[in-house]
Amino acid sequence: MSSPTVTAKRAVQETIASVADAVFDYMTSLKEVVKRSGPHETFSAQKIERSISKSLKDAGFKEKDLPRFVQRITANVLSRLQRQYNGHATPTTGAIRETIAVAFIDNNLVHVARVYLSYHKNAIAKASEQYGKGITMERYYTKEGVHPYDLLTWEKRTAVITNEKGEKVFEQTDIEVPSTWSQTSVNIVAQKYFRGKVGTPERETSMKQLMSRVSVTMANWGRKDGYFATAKDAQIFEDELTWILVNQMAAFNSPVWFNVGINPHPQCSACFINSVEDDMRSILHLTATESMLFKQGSGTGSNLSNLRSSQEYLGGSNGRSSGPVSFMKGLDSFAGIVKSGGKTRRAAKMVILNVSHPDIMTFIECKAKEERKAWALVDAGYDSGMDGEAYGSIYFQNANNSVRVTDDFMRAVEQDGQWVTHEVTTGKPSVTYKARDVMRSMAECAWQCGDPGVQYDTTTNVWHTCKETGRINASNPCSEYMFLDDTACNLSSLNLMKFRKEVNGVMEFDVESFQRAAKVMITAMEITVGNSSYPTPSIEQNSHDFRPLGIGFANLGALLMSRGLAYDSDEGRA
């Protein structure tokens, strides 16, 4: 006997098929289609329906929602084809593909259109593994013919996380982990990165599943894209990467753990920089782009200095603009609503304003003023926790704010001079401040609430490696990634404490091991660039053109302490 789930899925499929059949029967003028290779074949509405259904599924639509969307979009596509090819011409597969993509876009499903178009791109590029022109790999950590997992001791653990009151907020039992892992590592990885709902068959229950989901997927991408000289090199890469990850020698940024091995083209980069123009469509588009990035576990930064100030007029009217700080309220609210990666942490967001913008003082003080509101609410008895009523009812709590200063401004501060801001729309002088008043306000507000931070625009662009392409206007939320607008960066970190070896009774840094791991990790990160999804066409193009990667290290403090070295010492800096 079929299960209720199977019966329901069959009913959904039959409903979709019947819709496609009915529309196809009506469209009697569409009989053939011209394939890309030249020959004709019988036109099939069912093929269109299946493509639409698959695209929606791969984009994350639930089974129960499919009939409604598939019916509507299939009808749209067939109706357009009927009007365009009314018996006097035969559509090509390319024309049909374009019609389907447009139908998705017209139904506000741009992300589904990208998924659909990626099928064709992959079908052309694809299919078998490619070798002969790639890199060679050498085994260092693993043994040929022995799986990396077989070199470790495994045990079962329970992961538990409690809140500040000691109440359990997460628990998963019987998790298979390497015996060397700390309990904190088990708790965090299981709660943040395991896929599926706890207690269901889809839930991951072993670190082997998580590590292989990432390492095998990346290795297969590399095989497909010709990154390796031979199949043996590809297997070495897969084994070495698996060993590095499962032994906590290095880790990728969170979106890799969230998404790789789940979606055909996952979002892999953690850091994004988005542009915005002085246009309502652009502002609303930024809201949508940021929300989708937060949903997949990434962080984003934007410089809002292109938005006209509250001192300037709207085009063709006597009304003044509300200014960038007002739009920050809406952007901040969406960031607070969308949980990062579908998990529990807040979104990561950076907002930047140039010190030359007329609304700079409003920007500098906005978060401190909200902080004082929270203090009053706490004094009145409201919960002061991060997610409590006090801070949950004020603005600007989901972003880091930074002022972008120039050398000219800093010299004005030194000389106790005037600082003239300029209108965004005309470039004419606007509000004038004493430079030291601006700097003092930045310092006092940062003392009160931690914001705003400072970014040194002149120095950043002097050090810029791609000056001919454009300026650096912004950074990601943590500010370690500063690059062109509409770009993304994939990050990873090497755990320095895992690269030590005993030499004459002393634990020394293992340079060779560090170099080997760095080669494997940067190769994996490079492979992800061409296999990732991106929220906008411009970010996708820039990612493919510039291929930004950020490989760093963690546990520097622990490494220095383990050797008895101070940060501020010649030995520590060596």
Chain position carrying tokens 């892999």: 268
In Å, how far are 254, 295, 333, 534, 563 from 298, measured between CA atoms? 8, 7, 17, 11, 35
Asked whether 338 and 387 are in contact (CB, 8 A), the reply is no
Helix (H) or strand (E) holding 303, with range, is strand 299-303
The pair of structure tokens assigned to 7 is 């019966």
Catalytic residue among 129, 277, 480, 508: 480
531, 518, 546, 311: which is closest to 429 by C-alpha?
Answer: 311
256, 454, 268: which is closest to 353 by C-alpha?
Answer: 454
Catalytic residue among 76, 247, 398, 476: 476
Chain position carrying tokens 């991408």: 221
Is residue 480 part of the annotated active site? The answer reads yes
- How many Cβ atoms sit within 10 Å of the Cβ of residue 487? 27
Please state, in angstroms and rounded to a whole number, the distance separating the CA atoms of residues 347 and 334.
Answer: 9
* 536 secondary structure, DSSP code: S
Catalytic residue among 171, 263, 423, 478: 478
3-state secondary structure 323-363: CHHHHHHHHHHHHHHCCHHHCCCCCEEEEEEECCCCCHHHH
51, 46, 47: which is closest to 20 by C-alpha?
Answer: 46
Please state, in angstroms and rounded to a whole number, the distance separating the CA atoms of residues 255 and 245.
Answer: 15
Please state, in angstroms and rounded to a whole number, the distance separating the CA atoms of residues 26 and 47.
Answer: 16
Strands 418-422 and 429-434: antiparallel
Angle 254-271-523 from CA coordinates, rounded to 5° = 70
The dihedral built from the CA positions of residue 525, 220, 213 and 274, taken in this order, carries a sign that is positive
Is residue 489 part of the annotated active site? The answer reads no
DSSP E strand stretches across 240-291: 250-252, 271-273
Chain position carrying tokens 């670190």: 207
The pair of structure tokens assigned to 196 is 């599926």
Please state, in angstroms and rounded to a whole number, the distance separating the CA atoms of residues 459 and 211.
Answer: 40
The per-residue DSSP string of 4-20 comes to HHHHHHHHHHHHHHHHH
Cα 328 to its chain centre, rounded Å, is 20
Please state, in angstroms and rounded to a whole number, the distance separating the CA atoms of residues 437 and 435.
Answer: 5
Q: At what angle do helices 360-379 and 435-449 cross, to 10 degrees?
A: 30
The pair of structure tokens assigned to 45 is 């509405």
Catalytic residues: 476, 478, 480
